[in-house]
Amino acid sequence: MSLTLGAALLAGCGALPLPSIALPDQNLSLPLSAGLENYVAYDDKDAFTGTGIPSLLSHVQIAGKVAYAGAGNLKQLAVYLRSSLPNCNTVFGSGVRLCAASGESAQRVGTLSLQNGVVTGFVLSGAALDAAAKVGHGYFGVQAVQGSSISGDTLNFTDMRASAKL
C-alpha cells in the first residue's frame, strides 16, 4: 500500500526538483567572428567530464556567471550545446569546429549578454541540454549575435550549477 501511495504522490507532483550540482569552471577561447556570422564555433573540450550528472534528469538548467575579455566588442552570443563533438570544419591550430548555424537551431540553449570585463549572470536550458546531461557529455558552441570577437578573446564561465528535475 505504501508503494501505491508513494507512486500516486509522485504522479500528482509532476517532476521533482533535485539539489543542484556544481560544475567546473570553463574557459573558452573565441575565434575571430568576422565573416563567421552564419556559423557556430564549437569547443572540443567536454564541459561535462567528471561532473557526475545523473542520466535520469530532465528539465536541466545551468546557471552561473560569465566574463568576456579581449579586444573585440561582443555584446551578445547565442549558446549551443551538443552531446557529441560535431563533424564540421576544424579551425587549423585550434580545438574549434565550425558548423553552419542553419543546421544547429535544435542545439541552441540560450543567449549571453556580454560587456567586456564585466561579470554577468546567465541561465541555459533546453532539449539539447537535457540530451547532453543524459549521456554525460557536453560540447559548447557559440555564435556572435551582436558585436564581434577577435582571435584570443575569452569567455570565462564560473560558479556554474546544474539543476534539474527527476
Tell me the C-alpha distance between 25 and 159, whole Å.
7
- pLDDT confidence of residue 53: 62
Contacts of 144 (CB under 8 A, 6+ apart): 33, 36, 37, 74, 76, 77
Of 39-53, 62-76, 90-104, 141-155, least confident by mean pLDDT is 39-53
Per-residue pLDDT tens digits for 29-86: 888 888 888 999 998 888 887 666 666 567 889 999 999 999 999 999 999 999 998 8
The domain over range 16-165 is classified in CATH as 3.40.1350: no
Query: What pTM was estimated for this model as a whole?
Result: 0.84
Q: Give the mean pLDDT of the chain.
A: 84
> Residue 59: exposed, middle, or buried by beta-carbon count in 10 A (0-12, 13-18, 19+)?
middle
Better pLDDT: 126 or 2: 126
pLDDT of residue 121: 97
Beta pairing partners, 96: 43
Domain range annotation of the chain = 16-165
The pLDDT of residue 51 is 66
